[in-house]
Amino acid sequence: MTRFHRAMVMAAGLGKRMLPLTAHQPKPMVKVAGRALIDHTLDWLSASGVREVVVNTHYLAPQLEAHLAARHKPVIHLSREELLLETGGGVLKAMPMLGDQPFFVANSDVICVDGAQPALERLRRAWDDDTMDVLLLLHPVDQAIGYHGAGDFFLEEGRLRRRISGETAPYVFTGVQLLHPCALIHAPAQPVFSLNVIYNALLECRPPRIAALVHDGAWLHIGDPEGVASAEHYLTSHHSPTKI
């Protein structure tokens, strides 16, 4: 049996930076190289042994939910958010469907292309219950496609350090991670919160309960129409996505 076979895909955002492509469709349904963004993610998860996925929905939810209903695998459970809960609140709401073991979380506006080994299998092998509650997949900023930010993290002697204002960090968080349900004991009282609240709490533990692995494949950030064009150029010239 595949270890860690559940995941959550974050798909509830409003997609404002993707306008006008999201004027009449949710961002996860924007097509990249002929496939909806969310299908790239779901195909990748399924090919790596993920059998059940929770997808949160909000903006134009019925349209996205109808699209997902046409898929055969992985098995999809829906978590509709009437109030947009952000990443942390969305995961917390979905917990009854995710079980008590570590599960993957993936953003629906990125595409990960595996390197020498599948990235999710690398995360599985690196996971250590004794030392971590979250394991992030990072990517070198200078190799990211469609990303123009200042990065998120440093890795100093194997330990994570978050970028502070004014710094440029060498690694960006890919939006892909393994997360243990116990990490959510650090959730705030309010229902709307970012997973960054959890990461910051785990970074402050002694020793820290959050770790990272550097992705060795390609990472495509698709946050706006320009990102769509960059991703399509890469995929059509370098890679043919697996269709499930």
Domain coordinates in residue numbering, the chain: 6-238
Structural fold of domain 6-238 = Spore Coat Polysaccharide Biosynthesis Protein SpsA; Chain A (3.90.550)
Q: What is the pLDDT along the chain (244 residues), one digit of tens a residue?
A: 568 999 999 999 999 999 999 999 999 999 999 999 999 999 999 999 999 999 999 999 999 999 999 999 999 999 999 999 999 999 999 999 999 999 999 999 999 999 999 999 999 999 999 999 999 999 999 999 999 999 999 999 888 999 999 999 999 999 999 999 999 999 999 999 999 999 999 999 999 999 999 999 999 999 999 999 999 999 998 855 554 4
Please state the φ and ψ torsions of residue 12, each to the nearest 5 degrees.
Answer: -100, 0
DSSP state of 29: G
Cis peptide bond upstream of 207, omega within 30:
yes
Global pTM? 0.94
- For the chain, strand residue ranges (E) read 6-10, 31-32, 35-36, 52-57, 75-80, 103-107, 110-113, 134-140, 153-156, 159-162, 171-179, 210-214, 218-221
